[in-house]
Amino acid sequence: MQDLANKVAVITGAASGFGRELAVQCAGAGMKLVLADRDQEGLGATLALLPGATDVITAICDVSKPCDVDNLAEATYARFGAAHLLFNNAGVAVSGPTWTTTLDEWKWVLDVNLMGVVHGIRSFVPRMLAQGQPAHIVNTASAAGLVSPPGSSVYCVSKHGVVTLSECLHHELQLEGAPIGVSVLCPAFVPTGIGHSERNRPAEFADANPLGEVYAEAMRKAIAAGKLTAADVARITLEGVQAGRFYIITHPTIKKAIEIRMQDILEERLPTNTLRVNPR
């Protein structure tokens, strides 16, 4: 995946945030694009940022629904005959104490963040194997997939799941001798719309954590204070793909918190609260 020109990139969550910036940078690299999101207006706004890109298709896709992702794969291969770079990127977030987290929140977040990646793998990897060309999969996790801050249990469970899913997928593709690389993207706080995920929350999952807002506000402040932009993360991600890196950790300072968590595990001591996201 050194040369991205004329390759096909599939991006879920392309209507905003990392997905939008990945679309811009993939287009700049001369790639053909398949942009997917459930937000039609946001997809249009992303498309407006790609005036020089001619080989682009957009698709309304809810990654929590396997039939939508199957349809996305079918549309990709019908138009381009291949997929070389798959970004399983769509994501949402909620906050609050675990004991008051609602079943609606568990269902919504896990269906999008974890099962959305599962659906992407099931729909695209068999086709990638059959096409027999070098390809690469980037699963968007988070630093929250490597540490465990308070008030983020649903989000962390989903993102820890994406990390281990990606590790297993890497090992399996290696055993197959497949020319398909895998990366797991683990950014820390970046100013994107993730702190306002409720704008896309389906009505059937409206039951919210009654103690969530104070945690959500603390998280939004941390996100707003992030030093890297979504464009920075997209650039670092593409550089990681071209370098063949598995773990793409965009914020090196988070590595200390990861190290402390690993030491807690190995030394069997109580978990350390390292991120200091404190709503109190």
Residue-level length of the chain? 280
Question: How many other β-carbons are positioned within 10 Å of the β-carbon of residue 166?
Answer: 26
- At 54, the pLDDT band (50, 70, 90 cuts) reads confident
- At 156, the pLDDT band (50, 70, 90 cuts) reads very high
Q: In whole angstroms, what is the distance from residue 24 CA to residue 179 CA? A: 26
Q: Is 260 exposed, middle or buried (0-12, 13-18, 19+ CB in 10 A)?
A: middle
Lowest mean pLDDT, pick from 57-61, 67-71, 219-223, 270-274: 219-223
Task: With a cut of 60, say whether residue 15 has pLDDT above it.
Answer: yes
Task: With a cut of 80, say whether residue 222 has pLDDT above it.
Answer: no
Q: In whole angstroms, what is the distance from residue 41 CA to residue 47 CA? A: 10
Q: In whole angstroms, what is the distance from residue 215 CA to residue 96 CA? A: 5
**pLDDT at residue number 45:** 96
* Closest C-alpha to 238, from 22, 13, 8: 22
Contact criterion met (CB below 8 Å) for 96 and 277: no
Residues facing 248 on adjacent strands:
185
Q: In whole angstroms, what is the distance from residue 80 CA to residue 39 CA? A: 23
Strands (E), the chain: 8-12, 32-37, 56-60, 85-88, 135-140, 180-185, 247-248
Q: Is 268 exposed, middle or buried (0-12, 13-18, 19+ CB in 10 A)?
A: exposed
Q: In whole angstroms, what is the distance from residue 279 CA to residue 213 CA? A: 9
Report the chain's mean pLDDT, rounded to a whole number: 93
**pLDDT at residue number 216:** 78
**pLDDT at residue number 78:** 98
The whole-model pTM stands at 0.93
Q: Which residue has the higher pLDDT, 204 or 192?
A: 204
* Closest C-alpha to 99, from 159, 153, 166: 153
The answer to whether residue 155 is catalytic is yes
Residues 121-140 have pLDDT tens digits of 999 999 999 999 999 999 99
Note every long-range contact of 156-162, with CB atoms under 8 Å and residues 24 or more positions apart, other chains counting. Answer: 157/110, 157/114, 158/91, 158/109, 158/110, 158/112, 158/113, 158/114, 159/113, 161/110, 161/113, 161/114, 162/113, 162/114, 162/117
Contact criterion met (CB below 8 Å) for 26 and 9: yes
Task: With a cut of 60, say whether residue 280 has pLDDT above it.
Answer: no
* Closest C-alpha to 22, from 255, 258, 227, 250: 250
Contact criterion met (CB below 8 Å) for 132 and 246: no
- At 274, the pLDDT band (50, 70, 90 cuts) reads confident
Mean of pLDDT values over 203-218:
83
Task: With a cut of 90, say whether residue 2 has pLDDT above it.
Answer: no
- At 208, the pLDDT band (50, 70, 90 cuts) reads confident
